[in-house]
Structure 1
């Protein structure tokens, strides 16, 4: 019984994704000129499909007369055989092809990994894509430039798709950090791909950074409007709406009963010696409904900043109250009637507190969010004195 001899390993390794790099048995191999490297790269990308001699001569020497172009091609093939060996190139009359047994290339390997689609294959494909196709090869030929531009775009889109697919698998397996890295790599290759932006938003939300995901969506809206003059597609907008609901659920902690008496809530929040802080949300007053997320983000930022100003103690409580309609008055509920007074400023330890002052100066329509916060230990939050209130009113009158 005879045994089949194993296939010989390739003698040369050609890397085209990123910088052109040819490695032989004795190390790196340099080619005499750029057109020779371009010819080898083209044959490697199209292997094992044979290429017609006339097509090859037009690709790199299209500006020459036909006879001169064919002569240049013959010389280039002769030099490649000298470097790679006679068996590296296969010739069948008018057709030339690269022998994959002698030389292996990263481009066909990258495409096979992407088609395979498993997590390990996609990870290997993402690592294999080091940059644009032959980023350091510049050949002054129209045919070469057209082919190279199309091939670069095709391979770049394959890489972005592979990274997004890898991120989706990482996210489904609960690895939000790895999914975020995959999305960021895909976005670095093509910042106009919304599927990469959606992956980043979902990864941020899965990592507990929902407010940051909404801010990222805000940046995506601005980018698409600036670069393409368009808004995010329906899928991206729907994802942002879901994230806003998640953010609202995080901000509005579970209340008692839906039918609970609001006056009782106000008494619970404000009927004690602990001072309280109320934050009213913003409402989009323009015609562009896609800017609603910005109002939600500002409200979330204010609440987050107030929460971080506390040094210890239990977390504050947030109540959701209906707002007044058609006017600029505070929310019409017992809690906000007790707490939100736009003309009243607050100070911390007797000094005006800029954050709280700004929070209480917002007079926007919309549902009222009432947040009660305890001051840090040893610090007291109290209304400003009569003289400070008069100074604030005089400054407002001068500005108006």
Structure 2
């Protein structure tokens, strides 16, 4: 019996022996995603009802769960995967070998944090699994929370991979990881610094200046502030780059200074 492959990134799809398993329209995707994301974990029926059907009354939620389990067992590939230790508890515990992308993703990142010598390889493997948001075809609140948690974990892994690549002398790889992460967290200054440092160490000063100018403009437009660093801070050399708002700031300072001088003159005139 071959490995059962269950993928949650980008929406649920299942493979058996390399072949896609067709799922009928009425397949209980939310219930199966919830159970299979935590293989071997035993859940009380009451918890499943509250989590998956929070808007239904107790009796209706229990009937909805029974119907979903019945539909799930109608899928031959998964029929024996749902175990019931007793009438009140349920778990996903297939007797065959199973591989689940969200579980493998979390496992590889955890290993990377514990095995520094293998971290770069393990992080690359984990990041390769994240093809799209998890549970994309499930709209329930639990799925939204799980999706956000996995996305945050993905961002953490991208930062670790970028920082590690830069430390180990792979600036192009570091720049690539940092650029991907900026797509998710554009206001993170530590990520911007890695991106710019990587470009500088690759000898691509034009890219570094472009990255800095883009970040400075975004901060000025959205938060009315400036980066807490300059390119010279990152390369130890005088910075030839000026931000798009430098001239505006100088003009504002000059206007304020002129106003203060005029006010001083008026006060002096009044006092005499």
TM range (shorter): 0.7 to 0.9
Gap change, CA 1:173 and 1:219, over 3 Å in 2: same
Once the two structures are TM-superposed, the CA of residue 245 in structure 1 deviates from its matched residue by: 4.2
SS of the equivalent of 2:175 reads helix
Gap change, CA 1:284 and 1:238, over 3 Å in 2: closer
Measured against aligned partners, the alpha-carbon deviations of 1:334-379 in whole angstroms (never above 9, x if no partner) come to xxxxxxxxxxxxxxxxxxxxxxxxxxxxxxxxxxxxxxxxxxxxxx
Once the two structures are TM-superposed, the CA of residue 170 in structure 1 deviates from its matched residue by: 1.7
Once the two structures are TM-superposed, the CA of residue 123 in structure 1 deviates from its matched residue by: 0.3
Query: Are 2:74 and 1:79 aligned?
Result: no
Who is 1:89 aligned against?
82
Gap change, CA 1:238 and 1:28, over 3 Å in 2: same
Unaligned runs of 5+ in 1: 1-8, 252-281, 289-400
| Mapped contact 1:18–1:133 kept (Cα < 8 A) | yes
**Superposition TM-score, scaled by structure 1 size:** 0.53
Aligned length: 239
Query: Quick one: which of 145, 150, 156 aligns to 2:145?
Result: 150
Find the aligned partners of 2:95 and 2:237 in 1 and give their Cα distance: 55
Who is 2:217 aligned against?
222
Quick check: which one's helix share is greater?
2
Who is 1:212 aligned against?
207
Query: Quick one: which of 218, 237, 251 aligns to 2:228?
Result: 237
Who is 1:21 aligned against?
13
| Mapped contact 1:163–1:183 kept (Cα < 8 A) | yes
Query: Are 2:241 and 1:246 aligned?
Result: no
User: Rg bigger for which structure?
Assistant: 1
Find the aligned partners of 2:100 and 2:237 in 1 and give their Cα distance: 47
Gap change, CA 1:33 and 1:54, over 3 Å in 2: farther
Once the two structures are TM-superposed, the CA of residue 219 in structure 1 deviates from its matched residue by: 1.4
Q: Which has the higher contact order (CA 8 A, sep 6+)?
A: 2
| Mapped contact 1:210–1:243 kept (Cα < 8 A) | no
Once the two structures are TM-superposed, the CA of residue 121 in structure 1 deviates from its matched residue by: 0.5
Find the aligned partners of 1:239 and 1:71 in 2 and give their Cα distance: 62
Who is 1:47 aligned against?
39
Once the two structures are TM-superposed, the CA of residue 42 in structure 1 deviates from its matched residue by: 1.0
Query: Quick one: which of 161, 166, 173 aligns to 1:166?
Result: 161
Who is 1:356 aligned against?
none
